[in-house]
């Protein structure tokens, strides 16, 4: 498979165009080492596109590194310092960089939220998390009610980098329906409360999340930004396997 075909297939599956006006990330091919006609035989996948993961991808002899968090956010004014080191690592090692941010959060089957719902043995009930007219999360329902302690124990099995799950336990004693926005998702506490769910599952929070959750009577689970966003890139890794590409997942938990 050529790089152009690889990029087109992922773009089509992830519907990047729908998020183009609301996502600060420049999704798609951010660094095209060797041109789009180059063959793709080996691909590496990681949550974060940084110099370290580029060099790990190179050690795997990858032709492309696929990540959730790329190099370019809201445009790139100059290539100096950290940006230079990251781009230089791609060029020096002939590794292309492909990025999918918000589209990979909200995708109904490949997305972080959808796969996290499956990890919690919940059935997806529809999209959640309005962000400028698109959605970046999922609403889900458990087959039977569980306590906050049971859900927290399950989330603790994620690769958190020794970070404990933080729970704001202000919701009902039994949790059955919940919303998911992975990464930094406490801005959607009010939407979750308006939706009538029992809890919100996310990665990390902000100071005001405590008061908003308490006043809304909502339980909020914060299982780690990194830990909740490994699912999407792992799903893309499995997809590339199906395409006959040799793959690897580069796990570098941040503890955040």
Give dist(CA 163, CA 201) in Å, integer.
Answer: 16
- Say yes or no to pLDDT of 93 above 90: yes
pTM score, two decimals?
0.95
121 is in an annotated binding site: no
Same domain? 207 vs 188: yes
Q: Tell me how crowded residue 151 is: count the other CB atoms within 10 A of its CB.
A: 23
Output the pLDDT for position 162. Answer: 73
Give dist(CA 220, CA 212) in Å, integer.
Answer: 10
- Say yes or no to pLDDT of 163 above 80: no
How many whole angstroms from its chain centre is CA 45? 12
Output the pLDDT for position 37. Answer: 77
Give dist(CA 47, CA 252) in Å, integer.
Answer: 8
pLDDT single digits (tens) 14-41? 999 999 999 999 999 999 855 667 899 9
Q: How far is CA 202 from CA 27, 168, 169, 209, 247, in A?
A: 22, 11, 14, 11, 28
101 is in an annotated binding site: no
Output the pLDDT for position 25. Answer: 96
Question: Phi-psi bin for 160: left (phi > 0), alpha (psi -120 to 50), beta?
Answer: alpha
- Domain assignment present for residue 256? The answer is no
105 is in an annotated binding site: yes
Tally of domains in the chain: 2
What are 184's strand-pairing partners? Answer: 204
Give dist(CA 65, CA 62) in Å, integer.
Answer: 7
108 is in an annotated binding site: no
Find the mean pLDDT for residues 181-192.
Answer: 98
In this structure, what CATH number is given to the domain that contains residue 160? 3.40.1390.30
Residue showing tokens 């043995």? 121
Boundary residue ending a domain (41, 75, 100): 100
- Say yes or no to pLDDT of 106 above 70: yes
Same domain? 153 vs 139: yes
Structural domain boundaries, residue 126: 105-225
Same domain? 52 vs 85: yes
Query: Poorest-confidence range of 70-74, 76-80, 127-131, 143-147?
Result: 76-80
Same domain? 75 vs 136: no
41 is in an annotated binding site: no
């Amino acid at each position: 498979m050529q790089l152009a075909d690889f990029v087109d297939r992922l773009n089509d599956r992830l519907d990047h165009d729908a998020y183009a006006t609301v996502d600060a990330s420049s999704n798609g091919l951010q660094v095209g080492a060797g041109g789009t006609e180059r063959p793709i035989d080996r691909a590496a996948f990681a949550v974060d596109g940084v110099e370290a993961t580029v060099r790990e991808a190179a050690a795997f002899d990858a032709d492309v590194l696929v990540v959730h968090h790329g190099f370019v956010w809201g445009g790139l004014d100059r290539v100096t310092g950290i940006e230079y080191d990251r781009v230089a690592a791609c060029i020096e090692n002939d590794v292309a960089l492909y990025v999918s941010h918000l589209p990979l959060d909200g995708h109904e089957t490949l997305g972080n939220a959808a796969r996290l719902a499956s990890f919690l043995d919940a059935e997806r009930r529809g999209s959640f998390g309005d962000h400028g007219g698109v959605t970046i999360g999922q609403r889900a329902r458990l087959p039977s009610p569980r306590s906050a302690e049971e859900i927290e124990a399950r989330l603790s099995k994620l690769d958190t980098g020794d970070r404990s799950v933080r729970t704001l336990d202000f919701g009902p004693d039994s949790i059955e329906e919940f919303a998911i926005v992975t990464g930094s998702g406490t801005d959607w506490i009010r939407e979750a409360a308006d939706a009538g769910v029992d809890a919100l599952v996310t990665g990390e929070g902000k100071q005001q999340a405590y008061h908003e959750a308490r006043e809304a009577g909502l339980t909020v689970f914060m299982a780690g930004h990194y830990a909740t966003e490994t699912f999407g890139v792992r799903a893309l890794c499995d997809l590339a396997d199906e395409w006959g590409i040799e793959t690897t997942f580069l796990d570098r938990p941040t503890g955040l």
